[in-house]
Amino acid sequence: MRIFISGIAGFLGSHLADNFIKEGHKVVGCDSLIGGEIDNVPSEAEFYQYDCCYRNSMLKITKNCDLVFHTAATAYEGLSVFSPHLIAQNIVTGSVALFSAAIENNVKRIVFCSSMARYGTNKTPFKENFKPNPQDPYGIAKVAAENILKNLCETHGVEYVIAVPHNIIGPRQKYDDPYRNVVSIMINLMLQNRQPIIYGDGNQKRCFSYIDDDLYCLKKMAFSDKVVGEIINIGPDEEFISINTLANKLSNHLRFNLNPTYVKGRPKEVLNATCSADKARKILGYKTRTSLDDGLKKMISFIKKKGTKKFRYHLDLEIINELTPKTWKDRLF
Ligand SMILES: NC(=O)c1ccc[n+]([C@@H]2O[C@H](COP(=O)([O-])OP(=O)(O)OC[C@H]3O[C@@H](n4cnc5c(N)ncnc54)[C@H](O)[C@@H]3O)[C@@H](O)[C@H]2O)c1
């Protein structure tokens, strides 16, 4: 198969590319490098440094592809209320430009990576049949892209699948990005002997998943007949922990003397967010193979091996006011 992966220089996109190449598929991919790293792109892949927002470029590079795996996104949920134009452009415009080009080029299937942000303040654990209730421009943009994908695919007879990954950790995840990835940020700080900064009281809860457990399911979403037209949460529902517990676990693994700094909570942050894995277990045979502690230890080893990094404030804050977290406004990391 000839498989197109958008966001191929990113965390998920590059791992998917490696896996598909290993299985003998031809992989073509694009990335604007706004959030990814060129070193992540496998050398066997045909790579284009293109932005998904440009439909003509997408039309050119999705030619003769059988499958599109759309992972490209500015996956910045907390930032999205302060940089809504950046987020909406890369998620709504970027997705629609790619979907339009792929459908014009007669791809058989499009797999779209959505986000748990689609569920917003629904009760936990989030199930796929819940009515979306996104609380921020990131989640709203993901739901808009989902709806347009569904509409276009139903109209033009193209298969589609919506994957809902959540809080994945693992090698290649960016850890110098001050706007996202709480586990990586905390490890990068603690390894520099710096205290983590926690938004709000730290009692907000999440489930974290290790990349290998998710890849297995995401790959199945590319080929299985059972998933067509489905929305499926990808990730564990077993260890639902608070950010305070996360900080404690990491400090124990790192033998770090923890005394976090607490700052004002971020506007629109959903306090309790976790997804049910029932549907993934049933349709995709999902199983959590890596425990949370093992995943955290692997993440620590990855960052230790690569070396700590200075945080890079590489994105513009569009709206700066009294609600904008100091971590970003005053560059506290
Ligand atoms: N990793 C997670 O925990 C998680 C959770 C929920 C949803 N997701 C979704 O899964 C997908 C992949 O996430 P990830 O963690 O690999 O993120 P990532 O930032 O590592 O990868 C995304 C890649 O997309 C690229 N990109 C962004 N906008 C682009 C554009 N307009 N044109 C071309 N390339 C562009 C970035 O440069 C980056 O390399 C995203 O859609 C994200 O919203 C991820």
Pairwise CA distance, residues 71 & 58, whole Å: 14
- Is residue 222 located within the same domain as residue 268? no
Pairwise CA distance, residues 32 & 49, whole Å: 5
pLDDT, tens digit, for every residue of 64-79?
A: 999 999 999 999 999 9
Which atom of ligand 1 has the smallest separation from the CA of 34?
37
Expressed as residue numbers, the domain containing 85 is: 2-168+209-234
Q: What is the DSSP string of 7-60?
A: TTTSHHHHHHHHHHHHTT-EEEEE---SS--GGGS-TTSEEE---TT-HHHHHH
The secondary structure of residue 92, as a DSSP letter, is I
Helix (H, G, I), strand (E, B) or coil at 14: helix
- Is residue 65 located within the same domain as residue 193? no
Helix (H, G, I), strand (E, B) or coil at 26: strand
Cis peptide, bond prior to residue 42, ω within 30 of zero: no
Nearest CA to ligand 1 atom 7: 115
Pocket of ligand 1 (CB under 6 A): 6-7, 9-13, 30-36, 51-53, 71-75, 90, 94, 113, 115-116, 165-168
In a domain, 80, yes or no: yes
Pairwise CA distance, residues 92 & 145, whole Å: 5
Indicate which CATH number applies to the domain containing 144. Answer: 3.40.50.720
- Is residue 316 located within the same domain as residue 178? yes
Pocket test for ligand 1, best of 71, 143, 211, 274 (most atoms within 8 A of CB): 71
pLDDT at position 306: 96
Query: Do 105 and 65 form a contact (C-beta atoms < 8 A)?
Result: yes
Tell me how far the alpha carbon of residue 255 lies from the centroid of ligand 1, in angstroms: 32
Which atom of ligand 1 has the smallest separation from the CA of 174?
20
- Is residue 52 located within the same domain as residue 154? yes
Mean pLDDT, residues 225-239 taken together: 95
pLDDT band at residue 320, thresholds of 50, 70 and 90?
Answer: very high
Nearest CA to ligand 1 atom 1: 168
Least-confidence region, from 97-101, 171-175, 264-268:
264-268
pLDDT at position 218: 96
| Identity of residue 307 | G
pLDDT at position 100: 98
Which atom of ligand 1 has the smallest separation from the CA of 72?
24
pLDDT at position 246: 98
- Count of domains observed in the chain: 2
- Is residue 190 located within the same domain as residue 109? no
- Is residue 65 located within the same domain as residue 191? no
Pairwise CA distance, residues 314 & 258, whole Å: 28
- Is residue 193 located within the same domain as residue 72? no
- Is residue 157 located within the same domain as residue 203? no
Tell me how far the alpha carbon of residue 136 lies from the centroid of ligand 1, in angstroms: 17
pLDDT at position 126: 97
Give the distance, in angstroms, between the CA of residue 298 and the centroid of all CA atoms in the same chain. 19
Of the chain, the percentage scoring pLDDT greater than 70 comes to 100
Of the chain, the percentage scoring pLDDT greater than 90 comes to 99
- Is residue 178 located within the same domain as residue 200? yes
Tell me how far the alpha carbon of residue 10 lies from the centroid of ligand 1, in angstroms: 6
pLDDT band at residue 304, thresholds of 50, 70 and 90?
Answer: very high
Query: Do 142 and 90 form a contact (C-beta atoms < 8 A)?
Result: no
- Is residue 64 located within the same domain as residue 28? yes
Run of H or E including 205: strand 205-207
Q: How far from 144 is each of 66, 92, 111, 174, 273, CA to CA, in Å?
A: 24, 7, 15, 26, 20
Q: Quick one: angle between helices 211-223 and 11-22, nearest 10? A: 60
pLDDT, tens digit, for every residue of 120-135?
A: 999 999 999 999 999 9
- Give which of 222, 209, 228, 225 is closest to 286, Cα–Cα: 209
Indicate which CATH number applies to the domain containing 260. Answer: 3.90.25.10
- Is residue 189 located within the same domain as residue 316? yes
In a domain, 283, yes or no: no
- Is residue 53 located within the same domain as residue 182? no
The secondary structure of residue 266, as a DSSP letter, is P
pTM above 0.95, yes or no: yes
In a domain, 277, yes or no: no
The secondary structure of residue 201, as a DSSP letter, is T
Helix (H, G, I), strand (E, B) or coil at 67: strand
In a domain, 156, yes or no: yes
In a domain, 286, yes or no: no
Query: Do 294 and 210 form a contact (C-beta atoms < 8 A)?
Result: yes
